[in-house]
Every structure is written in structure tokens, then in C-alpha cells.
């Protein structure tokens, strides 16, 4: 007969099963002791974790709520509920549990790390970065913290900081494959493919037969247009793993990038000989048939791929591009909105696609709407601003365009794009020219100088506003006489002096605050 376990041993044994993916064994063990430890919130957390790992967030929420009734301050229950609701794409609803966890445990590293991700999801990027910098100042060594901080920096357009954080996360956990891929993707996005290639080559040196790393290296070489090297690596993968479809799929993508769709289809067929339900191979066929103009075959291949892997948004993105080329715009819009539903808020690419389509078809208001949503999702992407300004100018909203141009200059300074806008016919008026001159002056100065000038104007504006209020308050003094007038004037002067010093203190303190960009 097995030895009876106390609560601590039961938790350790269950966690061991869960870590190994033995969920049935963990569930049976918990079921055996659940009545004895019915008042232990830890048991509810373990059930919730099993449900979460098995992608059953609704069941997880039920268990975690039960645990919260047993201990309303439990960090594990509160965080578990937050992540379970996030799995249901209900981040805001789950956020109330995360904020409650912060209230009860304001210095908990795991809670603060989750808050970085939470505020990034809500587009509150400065707040997300402030939580990361607070943890960084405290000497955090959790790779998850640096991962979340890197995402917040990347979405803010602070790419050097993002790279730095990804690298630290990898130093802390060299086996953190997700961060490895994120850093490589960042390099590819910045058109620094050689850095991404070097990243995977370093890993491959220690693990030369790692098929996943080989596949990623093929992708990076393809992005760098090293097609011969990419094809060679894909063939090496086929040689090492002849019974895996991965090498054939990678080689098919190389053929697609080399404008050889027929050869890509042949490789996809070889992949299907090994794995008949490989969604990526059907995706390749869809892209290849689309390139060949065989719309119905392409549509059939994409639909099969989506039936096999219905949540794969990359396949769906290729599918809506195919539908646009095929002229099936009704189905195209439906697929785009489905991708947005699944991917939100990481759907800048999809917003931009819709904006481009609507712009092409003269539907400027809809185009502007989606460009603005894209910019809200990723405010660091300044290249979203010029097309919005183009639409505003075309529709005669010159005044509304200037604040957008000010944001653009604040991120990139005065450049060739701004020279083009300065010559636009809508900016020929007197006041428009004054606005452009201010923007040119503003954009041609260093970033720190612009911040200094802004703070000076803010100080002046506040002082003038306060002076106006006090002057209005002194009007009744004119009708008073004797000691009352003296007292009222003295009080007003003291009040004005107090406000003046307060404003100067706030403004100068604001200047002294560290800037996020210089945190490294």
C-alpha cells in the first residue's frame, strides 16, 4: 500500500507529474486526497494548472475561483485567474485579479512581471516600461521579466533596449527558445538578418542535429536572400531526418522565394507523402497556386490547411492575400477580421492590410480608421503616420494633420518625408506655413533640446493661466477699501507666489526624471 502523503508532499508530487506532462496521474493523485484537503487552496491551484495546460481555461477558472474563496489573497489563484482569462482573450476581465494581486503583494516579482505584459497588451507602453524599470532597479534575475520588458520596448520602437533585454533573458536562460526566436525575428524586422543567422549558428554549434534550429536558419537565410545556402540547409535537414516533413516544407519555401512555384508544389507533395495532414504543406500549395493564378486550387489548399489548423493566423494571412488577388473581397474581409479577433492586439499587419485595401478603393475614412488602430497597437511604428496625414490632407483637414506630424517628428526628426509634406499644396496658407516652420524648427533640434523647450513652454503656459485666474480674483478688491483691500491683495500675492513655486518645482522635477531610452 502506498505511503499516505501530507499536504506538502502531495503538492510536490503533483507538481512533479505536471512538469512531466503526466496530467492523468496528477489528476488521479489529487482526486485521491481532495476530500481530506478540501480546505486547501493549493489543491484548487493544482487542478487549475492542469486545466490550463490542457487548454481548458473555463474549467481552470472554476477551480481557481474556488481556491480564491478559501484564500482571497492567494497570489497563485489571482495570477492563475488572470492568465486563464487571457487565454479566453479577456485580458481586461482577468486584469482585475492581477491588480488585486498587486494590491495584496505590491513587491512580488512575479506579479510585477505579469503587470508588464498586462499593460503592454492594453497599449499602456510607458506604464509597462515603468514596471520593468522598477524591477530592473531592484536587481531582478527572472528571464520572463526581461522577455516582457523587451516586448514593451519593441512595441514602443525602442529597438536597442528590446535587443538588450532579449539578450539578458537568454543569458539567464540559454534554453529559452521563445526568446531566441523573438530576438531573431527582431533582427529580421530590422533587416539585420546576419545577426539572426549568427544567433542560430551559435546554437547549432552545440546542437548540430537540432531540426528546429536548422529550420529557423533556413528561414533567416531565405530572408537574407541567401537562397543557395537556404536550399543546402533544407536538403541537409532532409538527409538527417528523411521521415520528417520539415525539410521538404523548408525547401518548398525556398523555391517560393526563388519564384519557382511548381518546384514548391512538388516539395509539398513529398511532405504529404510523409505526413498527409501537414497544414504547412497545404499552405505552400495555396501560395504556389496563387502565384500561378490557379485561384480555385489555391482556395482549396488554403481551406484544407485551415481545417487542419484553424487557429494558425499565418496561414489565414496568406489566404486573405490570395482572396484579394482572386477578387473575392467579401471572403477576404471575413478572414482578415477573424485573424484580428484571434491575434488582437498583435494585428498591426492586418490593420495595415485593410487600410491599404480601403485606400486603394477610395474608402479613405475606413482606411484612416484602421491605420489609427494599427498605430494605437504599435505607437513605435512611426511609418503609420504619413498615410494618415495623406488622408487628412486629401480631405481638407489640414489643422488635424499637424498634431500627427508633430508625433512623427518627435520619433524620427525632420526627414525627406517631412520635406515632401512641407511642399504640399494644403500647407500654402499663412497659418499652415507658420505651423510647418515650427515643425521644422522642432524637428531639426536634438531630442533632449525639444523636451527642454516643451517644458519651458509648459511652465510659461501654466504661469500665464494662473496669473489670469488670480487677476480675475483681484477684480473685487478694486471695490474694497482700507484694510480689507490690503489683506486681500496680500493673500492673492501669497497665493500667486505659492502657485509659481509649485509650477517651477513640478516642471523642473519633470526635466530631471530619467528618460526610458537612456535606461541602459
Residue 193, pLDDT score: 95
419 vs 95, which has greater pLDDT?
95
Among 421, 510, 394, 495, residue whose Cα is nearest residue 458 = 510
Q: Angle CA(21)–CA(114)–CA(188) in degrees, nearest 5?
A: 85
Alpha helix segments (H runs only) across 138-276: 143-155, 159-172, 177-189, 193-206, 211-223, 227-240, 246-257, 261-274
Residue 516, pLDDT score: 34
Confidence at 519, pLDDT banded by 50, 70, 90: very low
Confidence at 259, pLDDT banded by 50, 70, 90: very high
State how far Cα 31 lies from the chain centre.
39
pLDDT digit string, tens, across residues 297-332: 999 999 999 999 998 999 999 999 999 999 999 999
- Please tell me what DSSP assigns to residue 515: P
Confidence at 437, pLDDT banded by 50, 70, 90: confident
Residue ranges covered by each domain of the chain? 464-520
Residue 450, pLDDT score: 53
Grid cell, residue 164, equals: 538588450
User: Largest Cα–Cα distance in the chain?
Assistant: 104
pLDDT digit string, tens, across residues 506-517: 555 544 433 333
Residue 455, pLDDT score: 57
- Please tell me what DSSP assigns to residue 383: G
- Please tell me what DSSP assigns to residue 479: G
The Cβ of residue 90 has, within 10 Å, a number of other Cβ atoms equal to 13
- Range scoring the smallest mean pLDDT among 96-105, 250-259, 459-468, 478-487: 478-487
Confidence at 280, pLDDT banded by 50, 70, 90: very high
Q: 202-233 burial, b if ≥16 CB within 10 A, otherwise e? A: ebbeeeeeeeebbbbbbbbbbbbebeebbbeb
- Across 145-170, average pLDDT: 94
Q: Residue 373 pLDDT more than 70?
A: yes
The Cα 55–Cα 99 span in angstroms is 24
Q: What is the pTM of this model?
A: 0.74
Q: Residue 406 pLDDT more than 90?
A: no
Amino acid at each position: 500500500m502506498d505511503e499516505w502523503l501530507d499536504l506538502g508532499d502531495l503538492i510536490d508530487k503533483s507538481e512533479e507529474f505536471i512538469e512531466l506532462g503526466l496530467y492523468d496521474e496528477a489528476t488521479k493523485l489529487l482526486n485521491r486526497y481532495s476530500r481530506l484537503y478540501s480546505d486547501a487552496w493549493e489543491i484548487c491551484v493544482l487542478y487549475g494548472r492542469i486545466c490550463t495546460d490542457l487548454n481548458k481555461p473555463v474549467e481552470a477558472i472554476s477551480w481557481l475561483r474556488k481556491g480564491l474563496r478559501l484564500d482571497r489573497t492567494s497570489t497563485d489563484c489571482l495570477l492563475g485567474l488572470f492568465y486563464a482569462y487571457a487565454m479566453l482573450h479577456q485580458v481586461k476581465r482577468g486584469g482585475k485579479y492581477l491588480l488585486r494581486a498587486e494590491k495584496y503583494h505590491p513587491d512580488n516579482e512575479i506579479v510585477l512581471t505579469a503587470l508588464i505584459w498586462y499593460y503592454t497588451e492594453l497599449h499602456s507602453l510607458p506604464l509597462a516600461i515603468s514596471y520593468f524599470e522598477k524591477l530592473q532597479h531592484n536587481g531582478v534575475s527572472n528571464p520572463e521579466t526581461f522577455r516582457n520588458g523587451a516586448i514593451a520596448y519593441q512595441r514602443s520602437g525602442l529597438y536597442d533596449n528590446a535587443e538588450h533585454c532579449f539578450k539578458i533573458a537568454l543569458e539567464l536562460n540559454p534554453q529559452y527558445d521563445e526568446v531566441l526566436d523573438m530576438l531573431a525575428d527582431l533582427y529580421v524586422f530590422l533587416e539585420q538578418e546576419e545577426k539572426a543567422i549568427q544567433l542560430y549558428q551559435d546554437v547549432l554549434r552545440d546542437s548540430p542535429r537540432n531540426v528546429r534550429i536548422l529550420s529557423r536558419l533556413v528561414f533567416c537565410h531565405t530572408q537574407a536572400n541567401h537562397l543557395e545556402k537556404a536550399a543546402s540547409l533544407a536538403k541537409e535537414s532532409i538527409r538527417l531526418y528523411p521521415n520528417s516533413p520539415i525539410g521538404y516544407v523548408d525547401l518548398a519555401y525556398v523555391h517560393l522565394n526563388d519564384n519557382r512555384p511548381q518546384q514548391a508544389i512538388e516539395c509539398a507533395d513529398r511532405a504529404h507523402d510523409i505526413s498527409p495532414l501537414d497544414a504547412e504543406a497545404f499552405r505552400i500549395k495555396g501560395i504556389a497556386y496563387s502565384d500561378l493564378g490557379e485561384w480555385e486550387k489555391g482556395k482549396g489548399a488554403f481551406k484544407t490547411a485551415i481545417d487542419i489548423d484553424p487557429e494558425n493566423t499565418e496561414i489565414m494571412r496568406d489566404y486573405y492575400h490570395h482572396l484579394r488577388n482572386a477578387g473575392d473581397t467579401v471572403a477576404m474581409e471575413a478572414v482578415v477580421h477573424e485573424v484580428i479577433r484571434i491575434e488582437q492586439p498583435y494585428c498591426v499587419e492586418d490593420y495595415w492590410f485593410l487600410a491599404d485595401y480601403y485606400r486603394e478603393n477610395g474608402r479613405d475614412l475606413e482606411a484612416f480608421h484602421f491605420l489609427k488602430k494599427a498605430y494605437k497597437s504599435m505607437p513605435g511604428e512611426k511609418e503609420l503616420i504619413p498615410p494618415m496625414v495623406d488622408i487628412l490632407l486629401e480631405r481638407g483637414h489640414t489643422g488635424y494633420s499637424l498634431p500627427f506630424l508633430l508625433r512623427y517628428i518627435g520619433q524620427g526628426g525632420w526627414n525627406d518625408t517631412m520635406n515632401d509634406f512641407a511642399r504640399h499644396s494644403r500647407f500654402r496658407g499663412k497659418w499652415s506655413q507658420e505651423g510647418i516652420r515650427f515643425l521644422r524648427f522642432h524637428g531639426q533640434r536634438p531630442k533632449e533640446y525639444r523636451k527642454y523647450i516643451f517644458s519651458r513652454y509648459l511652465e510659461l503656459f501654466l504661469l500665464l493661466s494662473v496669473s489670469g485666474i488670480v487677476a480675475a480674483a483681484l477684480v473685487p478688491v478694486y471695490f474694497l477699501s482700507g484694510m480689507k483691500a490690503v489683506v486681500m491683495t496680500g493673500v492673492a500675492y501669497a497665493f500667486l507666489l505659492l502657485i509659481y513655486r509649485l509650477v517651477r518645482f513640478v516642471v523642473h522635477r519633470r526635466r530631471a526624471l530619467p528618460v526610458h531610452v537612456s535606461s541602459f
